[in-house]
Amino acid sequence: MLKKSLAVLATLAASTLPAAAEEISISGGVDFVSAYVFRGFQLADEAIQPYVEIGKGGFYTGVWFSTPLDSREFFDNEVDIYAGYSFDISESLLGDVGFTRYIYTDSDGESDTTELYAGLAIAAPLDPSLYLYYDLDLEATTLEGAASHSYPVAENVSLDLGGTLGFIDADGDDFTYFIASAALSTSVADNADAYVSVSFGANSEDTFIDDSNDLFNNGDLTQLESSGFWFGVGFSASN
């Protein structure tokens, strides 16, 4: 699984911790993205990405899918199964530990990997968080920091800004990446939201597909760029 060994994703998910609750919580949604970018690496063009998560107390588990819309075989369908536990360290500090199993349905198990993670989130302006990931199969380590802020712009509408900075050590290869995003979110019903977003990503290496080149049909995998833009739309709901 070369793409995961290089990428070793939130995204957005890494900076959002499940809230502790005694009742069983169920949440889910579906996203469409014009490019699937994971930790500064573009892994696919357009993709549909549904997910569902169940939690009780600090425990949570979920499954996340990514299905590329292009028929090119370079990218696999991906299924991520994860579970973890979040807990209060203090009134303003939250801890989070868990694992993710990355499954690629087209690889007959040869590309599947398991990753452990541990993180801290601070209840402070910009909601800062810091996560450490270690892939047991790829022997790859990722350190990722994130921050975000939400601005109300109208009734039931907010502008959500986020930024992520990460460092990857993958079998001796080092990568540094940055991702910035802006999203307009709105409540469409009780406990249901929709959003549209635009994101920019940059990597210390060339990891973004240059859409001006017919990259895969001509077999040239060297026509890459060090940065790129993409957009997304999505819907989420919870009980």
pLDDT of residue 89: 97
Mean pLDDT, the chain, integer: 86
pTM as predicted: 0.85
pLDDT of residue 181: 98
Residues 121/127, Cβ–Cβ less than 8 Å: yes
d(Cα 205, Cα 208) in Å, to the nearest integer? Answer: 9
pLDDT of residue 30: 98
pLDDT of residue 176: 97
Phi, psi values for residue 59, rounded to 5°: -85, 145
pLDDT of residue 34: 94
Q: Which residues of the chain register pLDDT less than 50?
A: 1-21, 73, 215-219, 222
pLDDT digits (tens, 9 = 90+) for 112-168: 999 999 999 999 999 999 999 999 999 999 999 999 999 999 999 999 999 999 999
Domain count, the chain: 1
pLDDT of residue 112: 93
- By residue range, what is the domain housing residue 117? 2-238
CA-based R_g, the chain, Å: 18
CATH number of the domain that 77 lies in?
2.40.160.40
pLDDT of residue 105: 87
pLDDT of residue 45: 87
d(Cα 59, Cα 103) in Å, to the nearest integer? Answer: 22
Residues 167/187, Cβ–Cβ less than 8 Å: no
pLDDT digits (tens, 9 = 90+) for 57-69: 999 999 999 999 8
